[in-house]
Amino acid sequence: MTTNTTVKIPGFDSVAVGDTLGPTDYPIQRIHLVMYCGASGDFNFIHWHERTAKAVGLPNVIAHGMFTMAEAGRTLTDFAGDPARVIEYGVRFSKPVVVPDDDAGTVVTVTGVITEKRDDKSVVIELTARSDGQHVLGKARGVVSLA
């Protein structure tokens, strides 16, 4: 059964510099990484095979950087109500997201803060993404049109 829902896109006048988004937790299990391997075509063993990850000096299996970026980007698309309203998004990968267990996985926690309102009715949102107490994305920033 399909339910029709109306997504409320925030109005430009209803947000202010300093408003926060989240925190939002994004659980990550190894099965998510395997599914991402299939979707992206990146089957590097470090993303799903524990022995290989450890053999190359990693603490365990790590999430794809682009997968981590996408999960953090969901904070922007959820806020925007329409992914097409995200007109700019970029990050730097600062630490890998380690997924130490097949079942328990890990969590990436994302928060955002509106740091600028622009004349074109867009807002700049700075994101912070943390996993296991460490910042995993640096300079994470998006621009969302609220026009």
Maximum CA extent, the chain: 53
Give yes or no for a contact between 70 and 97, defined as CB atoms under 8 angstroms apart. Answer: no
What pLDDT does residue 127 have?
98
* Global confidence as pTM: 0.90
Which pLDDT tens digits describe the chain residue by residue (147 residues)?
445 455 567 899 999 999 999 999 999 999 999 999 999 999 999 999 999 999 999 999 999 999 999 999 999 999 999 999 999 999 999 999 999 988 889 999 999 999 999 999 999 999 999 999 999 999 999 999 999
Domain assignment of residue 58, yes or no: no
Domain assignment of residue 82, yes or no: yes
Domain assignment of residue 48, yes or no: no
Domain assignment of residue 20, yes or no: yes
Domain assignment of residue 112, yes or no: yes
- The boundaries of the domain holding residue 110 are 12-28+65-145
Domain assignment of residue 17, yes or no: yes
Give yes or no for a contact between 28 and 106, defined as CB atoms under 8 angstroms apart. Answer: yes
CATH number (domain holding residue 102): 3.10.129.10
Domain assignment of residue 134, yes or no: yes
| Cα–Cα distance for residue pair 97/63, rounded to 1 Å | 5
Tokens 């990968």 -> residue = 93
